[in-house]
Amino acid sequence: MAARPHLRPSAGSTYLHTLQHQRHQALHTSTPLSKNSISIVHPIHHRIRYKKNQLQPAYKDILQTPKWDTQSHLFKPQYTQQSRLEEHYNTTIAPDLLLANFVHNERVIPGRKRQEWDGSSQYHINRPRRAPAGSAVETPDIKQRTFKNIPRLEAIWIHAFVRDAVRVNQERALPTMVMMQQITGKKPRPVYSKATVMTWRLRKNMMVGAKVKIQGPDMYQFFATLVEVVLPRIKEFKGIENTSGDMFGNISFGLDPADVKWFPEVEGNPELWPNLAGLHITLVTSAQTDPEARTMLSAFGLPFVGKERLHNVPSFEALEAIDRKKGIVYNY
Amino acid sequence: MILASSFLPRMLRTRTRTIFANGSVLGAANFPAVSAFSPQATIDVMACNGSLTFTRGKRSRAGGELQQKQKIVNMLSLISPRRKQPRRIKMSYEDLLRHRTVHRAWQLIVRARREERRLELQKQYYKMKHACDELQKASHVLYESAMEKPSPIRFPMEYRIPTLTPPRRIWDATWKPPAEEKKRKRTV
């Protein structure tokens, strides 16, 4: 079999035809095999796109070494130092969260799912399911909380909309973009407008902001700076609202332009940052509900204020009825 | 040297534009037909180490506008990965062997630690479960009392994340748990 190159396909590339091993196959016609006949097996051609230019020996070192190899030009050393928050989570917070969130003999709380037609009419056959009751979209089930699904911080999204980029000049979005790069260590992507609204002098495909997603040690570093340096310096900040959340464990809050200057990278040389926009920060967690996410984030020192918005949990009897219908019986 | 604004979705063309000393751009269409930051446009700025080059020796009357453009060029060069790629690590064969050995050993240690943590959590979970099962059989009243949970569950603010160096005030002997705040009407 011909060698398969492990390269990403791209436009304008040639096709490589690979041949399968010739198997003994009966002919599709019913002529019997005689001494002078041969069995012809038609080859099956698999097309793989590849750039022939990339296979030349000169590129072997550059293109065919994996990213994690130190000999690669894309190599980036990671975990050169301990991630303080991650270690604290693994050592202290996770076992405490397991205890805090533990519910004995917990039932699976079903989410809102698409409804099947009952079959009272013949036209119900193959009809697509109805929208969920009480919701536009399907919601996930709340699974049993075990040691395998302890809530943890997965990613942080930082997004900025720069109003001056619409009103004055698109270049006004750049300082905020550079600032985001400085505080996160990752290159942000620009955000373009999706619609044209004349009253706001907004056109489609204008660069109006930037966004960046951080994960891993970078994320914990940024979160530590936020909680320990930036948020305590903000006047009139008592905590994040308890009502903030998307129902399934992701908490969002914002920073004003005045608050953003408390980041050490900006505070160190304020004359370089004259016009900065505020930020929207979304903490993406693996918690199944908002209260769980808040519990986890409070362990890192993030305060919350306001009335708690609890996740609506059906009563014990209702859950039992649902399980009985499915045939699930809990023996206590 | 072309300064690549790599945040544009489309690949750059090789056509370059020159910026004159007075800030006007050669061959540029007027706003809004060609905007430097639209995803369909190509922004190619002749830059040399982040500074502008002049094709004609005209003195600038509007120096401020030029400085502004210089600032923008500087910001774009900060975002772009141009000339910021670290040098490729070249190791001799022996050094490579040493690196691989150390890397593998460290990965084994990390894996062992991860497994240890997972086992600890598993043991903890099953111990809690069995304890609750036993309590349920023993006494219903005690079981119900034990199953009560505060709502909402919050870790205390004094739950300090460890640091390399100790805090300025290591121990506060006069600390008392904060009293529960009375419910106040929101004025805002």
Given A122, A142, A162, the domain boundary residue is A142
To the nearest whole percent, how much of chain A has pLDDT over 90? Answer: 64
Let me know whether A297 and A159 are in one domain.
yes
Spell out which residues of chain B touch residue A299, defining contact as CB-CB under 8 Å.
Answer: 155, 159
- Tell me the CATH number at A296: 3.30.1440.10
Let me know whether A192 and A284 are in one domain.
yes
Let me know whether A263 and A159 are in one domain.
yes
Contact B79 A181 (CB under 8 A): yes
- Based on the structure, what is the number of domains in chain A? 2
Q: In what order do the strands lie in the sheet with B51-52?
A: B2-4, B44-48, B51-52
Whole-angstrom distance, CA of residue A199 vs CA of residue A209: 19
For residues B39 and B114, is the Cβ–Cβ distance under 8 A? no
The residue among A318, A156, A153, A312 whose CA lies nearest residue A247 is A312
Q: State yes or no: pLDDT of B88 exceeds 60.
A: yes
Confirm whether A257 is domain-assigned: yes
For residues B148 and B135, is the Cβ–Cβ distance under 8 A? no
Let me know whether A174 and A230 are in one domain.
yes
pLDDT at A330: 65
Whether B119 and chain A come into contact, CB under 8 Å, resolves to no
* φ/ψ (deg, to 5) at A200: -100, 10
- The residue ranking higher by pLDDT, B64 or A210, is A210
Q: What pLDDT, in 10s, does the model give residues B95-149?
A: 999 999 999 999 999 999 999 999 999 999 999 999 999 999 999 999 999 999 9
ipTM of the complex: 0.78
Confirm whether A24 is domain-assigned: no
Contact A88 B72 (CB under 8 A): no
Let me know whether A125 and A239 are in one domain.
no
Q: State yes or no: pLDDT of A153 exceeds 90.
A: yes
Whole-angstrom distance, CA of residue B116 vs CA of residue B113: 5
Let me know whether A172 and A284 are in one domain.
yes
Confirm whether A55 is domain-assigned: no
Q: Average pLDDT for residues A231-255, to the nearest whole number?
A: 96
Let me know whether A162 and A296 are in one domain.
yes
Confirm whether A97 is domain-assigned: no
Let me know whether A130 and A158 are in one domain.
no
The residue among A135, A158, A161, A146 whose CA lies nearest residue A248 is A135
A86 — pLDDT class (breaks 50, 70, 90) = very high
| Whole-structure pTM value | 0.76
Let me know whether A171 and A245 are in one domain.
yes
For residues A285 and A152, is the Cβ–Cβ distance under 8 A? yes
Q: Would you state the structure tokens that stand for residue A128, as one six-digit string?
A: 């697509």
Let me know whether A286 and A221 are in one domain.
yes
Given A100, A121, A142, the domain boundary residue is A142
The residue among A241, A255, A224 whose CA lies nearest residue A158 is A255
Spell out which residues of chain A touch residue B131, defining contact as CB-CB under 8 Å.
Answer: none
Domain range for A212 = 153-305
Confirm whether A34 is domain-assigned: no
Confirm whether A291 is domain-assigned: yes
Contact A104 B163 (CB under 8 A): no
Write down the residue that tokens 């698409």 correspond to.
A114
For residues A224 and A232, is the Cβ–Cβ distance under 8 A? no
From the list A70, A98, A207, the residue facing B125 with the nearest CB is A98
* φ/ψ (deg, to 5) at A53: -60, -30
Find residues 224-243 of chain A whose CB sits inside 8 Å of chain B.
Answer: 224, 228, 242
